[in-house]
Chain A
Amino acid sequence: MSKVASTTLRDSLSVSLTVGAYGVAFGAAAVANGFTVLQSCLLSLLTFSGASQFAVIGVLGAGGSALSGIATASLLGVRNALYGVIIAPRLKVKGLTRVVAAQITIDESTAVALGQETQGEDAMRKGFWYTGIGVFVFWNLFTLAGALGAQAMGDIRAFGLDSAVPAAFLGLVWPRLTGKFERILAVGCALFAIAMTPILPAGLPIIATAFIAIVIGLKR
C-alpha cells in the first residue's frame, strides 16, 4: 500500500472507532427513552446520523409526538444533503453504489474526505468510503451493545442515563459555538424551549427554535 493510502486509512480507522464507540451512548439512551432494542438498532442502520437519532429519541422520550420527533430529526438531517452536494462531484457514482454512498454521507465521512484534499481526489474518495463504511460498522455494533446494556439495567436514573442524553446533545452543540453570536443563539433557544415547555405540547418548543434559526438566517 502506498504511503498516501496508508495515512488515509489510518485517519479513517481512528475516526471510525472513536465515533462508532458513541453508538453505546445512543443505544443506551434510545432504550432509556422507551425505544425497543430492535427500534434502536433500526435507527442506527437506517437513519444513520447521530444528531438526528439522538433528536428523535429525545423528543419521544420527553413525551413528544412521532411527528415532532420526525420533524426535529429531519431538520438536523438537512446538513447531510449539503454534504452530498460537496461529495457527489468527487465520487461520480451511479445506481446502487450511489445509494450506498448516500447512506454513508455524514459529518465524519465528509470531514475525512475533505481532510485528504491536499493528497488528491483519489485519497478523498478513499477517505470517504473507508470512514463511511467504518463508522457504519462500529456505530451499529456499539448501538446494539448499548441497547442491550440499558435493557439489563432497570432503573436508568441509577446509572445516570437520564443525564447522558442532554450531555450528548451538549457535546454535539459545543464545537459549533464558535463565536459570540452562536453562543447567544444557543442560550436564547435553550431559554425559549424551557419557557415554552409548560405551555406547548411536548416536542413543539424544540421545533419552534428551528424557525428562530431560519428567520435569523434569512435576515442576517
Chain B
Amino acid sequence: MSAFWIATIGTSIIAFALKYSGHSVPERWLSHPKIQRINALIPIALLSALVAVQSFSEKSKLMIDQRLVGLSVAMIALFLKAPFPVVVLSAAVSSAAVYRWL
C-alpha cells in the first residue's frame, strides 16, 4: 500500500476516534485547564510551521520562488480582512502570474 493510502486511511481512523472520544469520555478528563491551553497553542504552532515549510522548501531543500509572492499577497489580503476564499485565490493568481511571466 502506498504512503498516500496509509495516510488517507490512518488520518481518517484517528480523526473519527478523536471525535467519538469527545462524545464518550467523562467531561472532566478533557476539561483540565492545561489541556485546554495546549489545545489552543498546538494549531498555532503546526499551522505556522506548515505555512513556512510549504512556502520555502521543496523536499528537503530551502528555496525562494513564486510562492513568496503568493504568500505576501495572502498576508496583505488577511490584513485587509478579506474572506478565506479571496485570500487563497489572490495568492494563487499572483503566484501563477509570476510563474508564467518571469
Contact = CB atoms under 8 A, between A and B. Distances in A.
A18 interface: yes
A167 B57 contact: no
B45 A189 contact: yes
Contacts of B51: 166, 169-170, 173, 190
Nearest to A177: B44
What range describes how many residues of B lie at the interface? 35 or more
Contacts of A206: 46, 49-50, 53
A195 to B, nearest CB: 9
A80 B20 CA distance: 9
Contact of B52 (A60, A171, A191, A216): A191
Contacts of B69: 163
Most chain B Cβ neighbours within 10 Å, of A99, A162, A191 = A162
Contacts of B50: 54-55, 58-59, 72, 166, 169, 193, 206
Interface in B1-54: 3-12, 14-16, 18-25, 27, 30-31, 34-54
Nearest to B13: A46
A23 to B, nearest CB: 11
A34 to B, nearest CB: 6
A65 B3 CA distance: 7
Contacts of B93: 160
Interface in A27-77: 34-36, 39, 42-43, 46-49, 51-56, 58-63, 65-66, 69-70, 72-77
Contact of A102 (B6, B20, B55): B20
24 contacts: A18-B84, A34-B4, A36-B4, A62-B58, A70-B11, A72-B50, A74-B11, A84-B20, A87-B22, A88-B22, A157-B99, A158-B100, A160-B97, A163-B66, A164-B89, A164-B91, A164-B95, A167-B71, A172-B43, A177-B44, A186-B47, A194-B56, A216-B41, A218-B38
Interface of B: 3-12, 14-16, 18-25, 27, 30-31, 34-62, 66-67, 69-71, 73-75, 78, 83-85, 87-97, 99-100
* Interface pairs A-B: 10 shortest CB-CB: A84-B22, A163-B70, A160-B92, A167-B91, A163-B95, A217-B38, A160-B96, A46-B12, A193-B49, A81-B22
Interface of A: 18, 21-22, 25, 34-36, 39, 42-43, 46-49, 51-56, 58-63, 65-66, 69-70, 72-85, 87-89, 91, 98-99, 101-103, 105, 157-174, 176-177, 182, 185-187, 189-194, 197-198, 201-202, 205-207, 209-210, 212-214, 216-218, 220
